């Protein structure tokens, strides 16, 4: 089960150069499902959001969302900010992220697994 980060933990992790992630949602097309998540990380002194949409290609044994095919491989959506607070605010305002649902980098697979169980 994923452990959600407090605001202080989120800020500290990103300032230390570690990623934080958040599962956002999914939507269905005619014959496919697309999953949405984002990552916030520090790069060259700036705080960046990377927004991801990919086809739901997982199964009971495959939860690595980074390995799934992206909806549009040529459309990397990133936003960079001077502060982590600005990055989090953007994630909340533009992607419907929740301030209390961020997980440590590498835990998005656990969030995906929870989504798969809930879909059954």
Assigned token pair, 107 = 């835990």
The answer to whether residue 52 is domain-embedded is yes
The structure's pTM equals 0.91
Neighbours of 71 (CB within 10 A): 15
Query: Per residue in 45-70, is it b (16+ CB within 10 Å) or e — as a string?
Result: eebbbbbbbbebebeeeebebeebee
49 inside domain: yes
Range of the domain at 109: 7-119
* Residue 95 is assigned to a structural domain of this protein: yes
Query: Does 31 map to a domain?
Result: yes
Per-residue pLDDT of the chain (120 residues; tens, 9 = 90+): 458 999 999 999 999 999 999 999 999 988 999 999 999 999 999 999 999 999 988 777 778 888 888 888 777 799 999 999 999 999 999 999 999 999 999 999 999 888 888 876
In a domain, 48, yes or no: yes
SS3 94: helix
Question: Is residue 69 in a domain?
Answer: yes
CA angle, residues 84, 88, 94, in degrees to nearest 5: 140
In a domain, 85, yes or no: yes
CB 104 within 8 A of CB 16: no
Closest listed residue to residue 112, CA positions, set 55, 47, 46, 48 = 55
Q: Give the total number of structural domains in the chain.
A: 1
């Amino acid at each position: 089960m994923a452990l959600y980060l407090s605001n202080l933990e989120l800020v500290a992790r990103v300032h230390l150069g570690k990623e934080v992630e958040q599962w956002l949602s999914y939507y269905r097309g005619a014959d496919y499902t697309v999953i949405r998540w984002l990552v916030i990380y520090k790069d060259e002194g700036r705080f960046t959001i990377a927004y991801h949409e990919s086809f739901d290609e997982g199964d009971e044994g495959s939860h690595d969302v980074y390995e799934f095919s992206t909806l549009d491989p040529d459309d990397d959506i990133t936003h960079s900010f001077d502060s982590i607070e600005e990055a989090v605010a953007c994630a909340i305002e533009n992607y419907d992220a929740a301030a209390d649902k961020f997980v440590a980098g590498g835990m998005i697979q656990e969030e995906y697994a929870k989504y798969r169980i809930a879909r059954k």
